[in-house]
Structure 1
Amino acid sequence: GRSGDNAQPAPVPVPEPTPTVPAVTVPGQTPLPVARQVPVISPTPDNAPGPRRRLQYRIGSRTGAENWNVERTQLEDGRAMITVSNGVILNVSGVQGLGALEVEADRAVIWTRGDDASRSGSGSGDLEFYMAGHVVLRTQRPQTGDRVIIDADELYYDTRRNVAVALKSRLEVKPKLRAGTQITLTEPIVLTAEKLFQTSETTYEVVNSEVFSSRLPSDPGLKLIVAHATMEERRTPRTDLFGRPVVNPRTGEQLTQVESLLSAENVFATAGGVPLFYTPYLYTDARDPLGPLVSVHLGGSRIFGFQTGIGLDVYKLLGVLPYDGTRWRAYVDYMTRRGPGLGTNFFYNGSLFEAAPEELQLFPEKVQLGQYNGVVRLYGIYDQATDILGSQPVDLLTFNPSGFRGRAYWQQSVWDLPGGFDVHAQFSKWSDRNFLEQYYKREFDTTPNQATYALLKQQQDNWSWSVLAEGRVNPWVTTTESLPRLDGYVQGLDLFGLFTSHSHATIGYHRLAVSNDPRTPIQSNAVPPGTLPIQDQTTQQISTARAAFLQELSYPVNFGAVTLSPYVKGALVGYSEDLHGDSAGQAWGGVGLKAHLPLTKLYSDVQSELFNINGLNHKINLEANYFWAQAVNKHTQFGQIDRLNDFTTDQALREFTPYQPIYNPSNGLSMATSRLFDPQMFAIRRLIDNRFDTLDDVNVLQLEARQRLQTKRGFPGSQHIVDWMTLDTSVSLYPQANRDNFGKSFAFAEYNYQWNIGDRTSFQSTGWFDPNDGGPRVLTLGMYFDRPDRTSFYLGYRQIDPLNSRAITGSMSYVFSPKYSMRFIVSYDLGQSASLGNSVLFTRTGKDFQVSLGFTYNTYQNNVGAILEIVPNLAANRTNGPGGLLNQQSMGGFGR
């Protein structure tokens, strides 16, 4: 325990005399608290005029008593010994490397050599002291601003050498948060030890120590127990990913970074007294004292069985300093139904070089050029189970694992290069067709194509060009290989002050690589055996060279408030091989007229507290586009080089469309055979003309009305304009309905309505209606409600025909208190009489950990899952919230 006021002082050895060394003061020192009744002399900066300042000290009473006992003894070596026995506070300024420090204790012995060895004085830097009984030392590091406090039963300190010994000690370092750093630590770094040695102003050694950083330091939940450790504050030059120095673009000086490096032996990490892991050696930054452990996951589901896994910081595992702008993680998993898994993610970003000084004068905000970022993802698992993907037919679900499954992914982007160049590259390979969908469901559904390509692009003003090389490394994917493809664009070119020109040219050699999945015929007796879905008509294996040119020329003219823009548009496309194996070409062109009329009406006298209205401004934009075009050949003669569907959509249609008559008896046959659901027909009818293989005859009038009701909200004097209501409507009319729209005069009747009831409450509804029998019809309704404390509610309804889907969805995020929160999502399809998904996640944010417990249920997969995720608060602050079943559905909680 601590020494009390009545404890006897320990024997004090008289230290040997030491040579005189001038003190060095570090600029930027923050003055420490003033001792009671005795003023403190603030340290003088190094750059102050005059000679370098000598070490100065002041001795005061710790309790403020006037009759405190101070004795002075002159030693034979010329030094003086000052003894204080009933409470002392010592202020020292001019300490080398520290500037100033303050020490208080119950008893003290001070040795000094100077001109005035009394309660206050100055000297050559030869000041030593021994203190006992509730010793507290405070200082602030001038270079970093970090505050340091040492509590101990006994303390010896030599100010000349900046060395100290403390018994039964507690070292507390409070890092100063600085802009532009990666420090996420908000609580002090604490080391408790039986013995603490300070070997320099920035180096400490401890024996049998505990290291932690907690909101509740008296009872930390997460801590490291070490047999021996050294903590050193080190200032190192900053370098980029390529090892080059990072400099200040305005001064040219190399930037540095400060780290509190912890080197420890025989380290145990414990949580609530329960051991988590052991390592014989640990090298890490004490400002991020979690060690290599990033997260811990526990869970279970029908798909994976019982799951457990941890996330680790690879830099800390290897004991090396991370490169600026990089993050390297490793993941170790085990799933009882599947097997062991191991993976790693590496993220990086930065800039290649700085802007030239003359460019900075013109564009001071453009400090860096050549921005880049990228990610590498590797994962492998020894899988011994069958995939469960959903309610597809059994033959698509069956998978006999070869033992090892995994993925390799790399994505790289470089932009803002000199000359307007960008470079993008990606490589994505996974072991089998089901792996990505099974283990990375969210990524499979929502991210861009997992293609393999390299793209170089240059853009200047209104022109650009690019060259693309793309290949296929996953044979179950349908995609276009380009070896290579060159594109050029000139947009908005003004011709003679009258016309506006838009041009696009492309040339390349392409291979339409079709999936090696077996092509399944339509499963219905209503069609001849072997009949394939309509979408497969232009998706056939071909290799062809293709050159194309698209030109649009418009003549905009104003008639009062109305803007009319007649235009002509045409394309020439040549193929070395069409679907019949012959060389062929396509000529397509047409004429059109665009019209635009903006209208507005102000109702300043409309006021309503109930509806939160302070005046109304009604804005309407009326737009029309008529276009008539003819093509020499039908689009069905050519392979679909420019793909309309992404990989995920294409795979879903390929897998499920042949079975539509079985699962949807009313409309399934039409969905598998009617050109109404052909993606290329959708594109032609909607005037999607940037796909050279999807050009055909069309005659259409598109009408659109975009409306806004705007009002003012906010406090008087700081009001802002908001959209109170918005309503966008559109429809397409077809004069040649039999040819272009399956006999119906209109299609694509759509609306999008939103009512912002308040700043955080809104109602939204969208609709899409196609009059063709069995055509697509979509209706959505939704109410949103959210609050600044992260509380939010949503209730929605979605209807999709001809799928006969009537889904009700509700979600809630509710914060019970600063510690507890909940997320709840439920979705039930009334038309299919099935639960689409139900998830609930409870989160507790404690003093050291963020603990999440979640459950999920999916009817189509007949899957019940649970997850327990434990993330230290420091790691949680660096992420976008917990992973888990809610964020990475099929990964079962590993959420990478």
Structure 2
Amino acid sequence: YEYPVNIAGLFKPAPKIENQALADGSYIATITGRFYLWQKRNEAGDMVEFQADNAVIFHGGDFTANEGSTGQGAMASGSVQAVYLKGNIVMTELSRTIRADEFYYDFKGRNGLAVASEMRNFDSKRGLPIYLRAKSLRILSENSFDAEAITLTTSEFYMPQVSMTASRMILTDTTGIDMREGKEVNKGSYDGVLYDVRMKYGKTTVFKWPKIRTNFERPDIPIKKLRIGSDSEYGTAVESQWHLSRLLGRKEPDGVDSTLALDYYSKRGVGAGAHIDYEMEDYFGDLVGYVMSDRGEDDLGRTSDRKNLKPDADIRGRFTFRHRHYLPYDWQATVEMSYLSDKNFLEEFYRNEFYTGKEKETLLF
């Protein structure tokens, strides 16, 4: 069943509605003046709603204008194929609100195109609004969008201090999926993939990446932690940790936390590694791997035999994998694998783990 599209005035004087027949047998209706348009979607009462200053409505001839007034009652209603809106447009559907300068919407296919648009969401964890602005926002279906020339920020100002820009973004509204899976949903949940991404401070680009994934709860930059320092042993040090899944442009599964480490030490060399923690219903574990080219010497203590120790090889690193699986009948399986390039690597670069962590073993039981 197709519900009718209804129109009501918002202010006095009421908007002016004029019907016109075209040569091809179709009909249009023009609306001049601020109005409210809505269509019921289903028996649950879900609606798609618009407010705008002007519009052109495309219909098949059964859209009729009635004598109405602002505030209550429909001034016009009937079967509508599509609508073109212009001027201070506000579209509301479920928990989603889109503002735009121009908007074309197809009621039959439930898709459309918004020009100079802004979609607003709210990060309930941090108490911040999130703004997605796009030169064009194409509605592919009720739950998927394709945006071009986008800016993602927490600032309502036209020129935000901190923002993320992208040439394109594919956005999926996952609210319905999350609700069916029993997840807590406050305002709406999204999953987006951004292309040709730039992190900006004002107009200055501070980071570029070809593809990043976001859940639209905050401007999801891939960097997790950055530390810059200097000392006599390592020289200038730049240590960084990155969200691995976002760098790969993939959605991280629930229960998984993956981190990529990229480090530079002017007196030692460069290093890279990954740390992945996971916890599921029947198993949990972690994986740590790191490799570096080291041209320096280890300083492990105050005595002479613990200072200026040259490594056996320039390529050094470590690997640790731990996994525990809960089996039927109260059985458990534990797997652990460990590798160290040399006896001093862990003490030199992971000193806290060396003194307080579990002894490195390879075992199965």
TM class, shorter-chain normalised? 0.7 to 0.9
The residue number in structure 2 matching 1:100 is 47
Q: Secondary structure at the match of 2:88?
A: strand
| Deviation of the 1:200 alpha carbon | 2.1
TM-score by length of 1: 0.36
Identify which of 305, 308, 311 aligns with 1:398.
Answer: 308
- Secondary structure of the residue aligned to 1:117 is strand
CA-to-aligned-CA distance 1:179-208 (integer Å, 9 cap, x gap):
xxxxx6754543212222222222222222
State the TM-score, normalized to the length of structure 2: 0.82
Structure 1 position 328, deviation (Å):
1.9
Is contact 2:267–2:295 with CA below 8 Å preserved after alignment? yes
Q: Do the aligned partners of 2:211 and 2:247 also contact (CA within 8 Å) in 1?
A: no
- The percentage of counterpart residues that share the same residue type is 24
Conservation of the 8 A alpha-carbon contact between 1:148 and 1:174: no
Quote the offset at 1:433 in angstroms.
2.4
C-alpha displacement at 1:437, in angstroms? Answer: 1.8
SS at match of 2:247: helix
* Count of matched residue pairs: 350
Cα deviation, 1:321-360, whole Å, max 9, x if unaligned, reads: 3333222221111011211010101111112xxxxxxxxx
Name 1:298's counterpart in structure 2: 228
1:297–1:272 distance in 2 versus 1, CA, 3 Å: farther
Structure 1 match to 2:243: 313
State the partner residue of 2:148: 207
- Change in 2 beyond 3 A, CA 1:228/1:288: same
Aligned to 1:217: 156
1:664-813 equivalence runs, <5 A: none
How far did residue 408 of structure 1 move? 0.8
Q: Aligned partner of 1:318: which letter?
A: L
1:70 to 16, 21, 29: 16
- Among candidates 108, 133, 154, match of residue 87 of structure 2: 133
SS of 1:443's partner is helix
Q: 1:58 corresponds to which residue?
A: 6
- How far off is 1:301 after superposition? 2.6
1:428 to 338, 343, 357: 338
What corresponds to 2:270 in structure 1? 340
Q: Is the 8 A contact 1:384 1:403 kept in 2?
A: yes
Deviation, 1:116, is 5.2
AA in 1 matched with 2:9: S
Which residue number in structure 2 is paired with residue 16 of structure 1? none
Q: Does 2:184 align with 1:263?
A: no
d(CA) in 1 for partners of 2:170, 2:332? 46
Structure 1 residue matching 2:206: 3-state secondary structure: strand
Cα deviations by residue, 1:841-880 (Å, 9 ceiling, x for unpaired):
xxxxxxxxxxxxxxxxxxxxxxxxxxxxxxxxxxxxxxxx
CA contact (8 A) 1:113 1:123 kept: no
What CA distance in whole angstroms lies between the structure 1 residues aligned with 2:118 and 2:339?
52
1:347 to 1:383, Cα distance in 2 relative to 1, 3 A: same
Which of 135, 138, 142 is the equivalent residue of 1:197? 138
Say whether 1:157 aligns with 2:68: no
Q: What amino acid maps onto 1:71 in structure 2?
A: I
The code of the aligned residue for 1:59 comes to I
Pairwise CA distance, 1:290: 1.4
Could you report, residue by residue, the CA deviation over 1:155-188 in whole angstroms, capped at 9, with x for unpaired residues?
Answer: 222222222222222122447x7xxxxxx67545
Match of 1:887 in 2: none
Q: Kindly tell me: are residues 194 and 399 of structure 1, through their superposed partners in 2, closer, same or farther at Cα, counting changes over 3 Å?
A: same
Query: Structure 2 vs 1, CA of residues 151 and 285 (structure 1 numbering), >3 Å: closer, same or farther?
Result: same
Q: Which is bigger in relative contact order (C-alpha 8 A, separation at least 6)? A: 2
Check if 1:374 corresponds to 2:328: no
Return the letter of the residue paired with 1:448.
K
Q: Contact 1:128–1:157 at 8 Å: present in 2 too?
A: yes
Name the residue aligned to 1:412: 323
| Distance (whole Å) between structure 2 residues aligned to residue 425 and residue 228 of structure 1 | 43
Deviation digits for residues 88-113 of structure 1, max 9, x if unmatched? 12222228999312211222233344
- Aligned position for 2:65: 118
C-alpha separation between the residues in 1 aligned to 2:195 and 2:87?
31
Are the aligned partners of 1:266 and 1:278 in contact in 2 as well (CA < 8 Å)? yes
Per-residue CA distance 1:353-399 (angstroms, 9 max, x = gap): xxxxxxxxxxxxxxxxxx321110001111122222332x1112231
Q: Provide the residue aligned with 2:347 in structure 1.
A: 437
Structure 1: tracts of 5 or more residues without a match: 1-51, 141-146, 178-183, 239-252, 352-370, 456-896
After superposition, residues 356-505 of structure 1 pair within 5 angstroms as 371-391=282-302, 393-401=303-311, 402-415=313-326, 417-455=327-365
Q: Distance in 2 between matches of 1:306 and 1:292?
A: 23
- Are 1:96 and 1:162, in contact at CA under 8 Å, matched by a contact in 2? no
2:146 partner amino acid: E
The 8 Å contact of residues 98 and 201 in structure 1, kept in 2 or not, is answered as: no
Could you tell me how far apart the structure 1 residues matched to 2:264 and 2:322 are?
Answer: 27
Letter in 2 for 1:82: A
> Relative to structure 1, is the Cα distance of residues 441 and 271 closer, same or farther in structure 2, using a 3 angstrom cutoff?
farther
Match of 1:84 in 2: 31
Q: Which amino acid aligns with 1:158?
A: D
Q: Per the alignment, in what secondary structure is the counterpart of residue 201 of structure 1?
A: coil
Provide the rounded CA distance (Å) in 1 between the counterparts of 2:318 and 2:140: 49
Equivalent position amino acid for 2:309 in 1: F
Deviation by residue 1:744-778 (Cα, 9 ceiling, x = unmatched):
xxxxxxxxxxxxxxxxxxxxxxxxxxxxxxxxxxx
- The change in CA–CA distance for 1:222 and 1:422 in structure 2 (over 3 A counts) is farther
Gap change, CA 1:261 and 1:420, over 3 Å in 2: closer
Q: Letter of the aligned partner of 1:233 in structure 2? A: D
Structure 2 Cα separation of the partners of residues 95 and 88 of structure 1: 23
Going from structure 1 to structure 2, the CA distance change for 1:441 and 1:272 (only over 3 Å counts) comes to farther
SS at 1:449 equivalent: coil
Distance 1:221 1:440, change over 3 A: farther
Which one of the candidate residues 207, 211, 216 is aligned to 1:277?
Answer: 207
Q: Which runs of 5+ in 2 are unaligned?
A: 67-73
Partners of 1:114 and 1:349 in 2: CA distance: 59
Q: What letter is aligned with 1:72? A: E
Contact kept? 2:6, 2:39, Cα under 8 Å: yes
Do the aligned residues in 1 keep the contact of 2:105 with 2:112 (CA within 8 Å)? Answer: yes
Give the C-alpha shift of residue 428 in structure 1: 2.5
Structure with bigger strand share is 2
Counterpart Cα distance in 2 of 1:389 and 1:256: 49
Task: Tell me if the contact between 1:236 and 1:256 (Cα under 8 Å) persists in the aligned partners.
Answer: no
Q: Does 1:169 align with 2:117?
A: yes
- How far residue 222 of structure 1 moved from its aligned partner, in angstroms, is 3.9
Distance 2:31 2:236 in 1: 65
Against the structure 1 CA distance between its residues 286 and 226, is the aligned structure 2 distance closer, same or farther, given a 3 Å change threshold?
same
Tell me what 1:226 maps to. 166
SS of match in other structure, 1:160: coil
For 1:329 and 1:69, how far apart are their aligned partners in 2? Answer: 57
Deviation at 1:287, TM superposition (A): 4.4
Deviation at 1:82, TM superposition (A): 3.4
The one-letter code sitting in structure 2 at the alignment partner of 1:442 is: N
Q: Following TM superposition, by how much is the alpha carbon of 1:259 offset from its aligned partner in structure 2, in angstroms?
A: 6.8
